Structure 1
Amino acid sequence: MSIDATNLLAILAMALVTYATRIAGLFVADRLALTGRAKAAFDAIPPAVLVAVIAPTALNSGWPEAIAAAIAAVAAFRLPLLATVAVGVAAVVLLRGIM
């Protein structure tokens, strides 16, 4: 297998641009003063990404997983992260045993 110089150059250029945008984000983020709606929007990004990753898997896996995900979501409003994970795991185990 041989590597074409054009393809290699394209891959390296894409890697450089990706790295540059990530590093630029770190330098720019320190200079931003977020208030009000912008701060609320940035604070909402981590939970939104987490839901976007977890929801399709939970809803396509079966009823026990979907119900356990709902139970864990409700527990997340009251419990810390580790306790929420424990509740979610216990719910999946129990529901798989029942169903």
Structure 2
Amino acid sequence: MTLDINTLLAILAMAFATIFTRISGLVLIRHVQLDERWKTAIEAIPPAVLMAVIAPTAFATGWAETLACAATALAARRLPMLASVVGGVVTVALLRATGF
């Protein structure tokens, strides 16, 4: 296997862009005063992104995956993001194990 310098540079550039975007968002948000309406809207972003990621799975696969996506969506309303994702993974694993 050989290392292509262009591929390596592309990967490094994408990593830098991702890190820069995340860090700059955290730094800039410290200097902005947000009212409750904006805070509520910002807190709704992670569950919305989660639903955007799992929705294609819910509609394009079998019943086990669809039910696990529904369980994940319900869990995301009350639980932290990581707990919701873990709950969805466990749900689909149990449903597949039972042959659903």
Cα displacement (A) at 1:94: 3.3
* 2:67 paired residue number: 67
Aligned residues: 92
Distance 2:92 2:25 in 1: 39
What's the RMSD between the two structures over aligned residues?
3.9
| Cα distance change of structure 1 residues 22 and 59 upon mapping to structure 2, 3 Å threshold | same
Distance 2:25 2:64 in 1: 40
| Cα distance change of structure 1 residues 96 and 62 upon mapping to structure 2, 3 Å threshold | farther
Percent identical pairs in the alignment equals 43
Alignment gaps of 5+ in structure 1? none
Aligned structure 1 segments of 4 or more residues deviating by more than 6 angstroms: none
1:41 to 2:44 alignment:
no
Is the 1:71–1:91 Cα contact (8 Å) retained in structure 2?
Answer: no
Is the 2:51–2:73 Cα contact (8 Å) retained in structure 1?
Answer: no
Cα displacement (A) at 1:62: 1.0
* Larger CA deviation: 44-53 vs 60-69: 60-69
Distance 2:39 2:77 in 1: 21
Matches within 5 A, 1:1-99: 18=17, 20-75=20-75, 77=77, 81=83, 85=87, 89-90=90-91, 92-94=93-95, 97-99=98-100
| Cα distance change of structure 1 residues 92 and 58 upon mapping to structure 2, 3 Å threshold | farther
Question: If you compute each CA radius of gyration, which structure gives the higher value, 1 or 2?
Answer: 1
Distance 1:91 1:76 in 2: 16
| TM-score when normalising by structure 1 | 0.57
The one-letter code of the counterpart of 1:36 is E
Is the 1:58–1:69 Cα contact (8 Å) retained in structure 2?
Answer: yes
The one-letter code of the counterpart of 2:94 is V
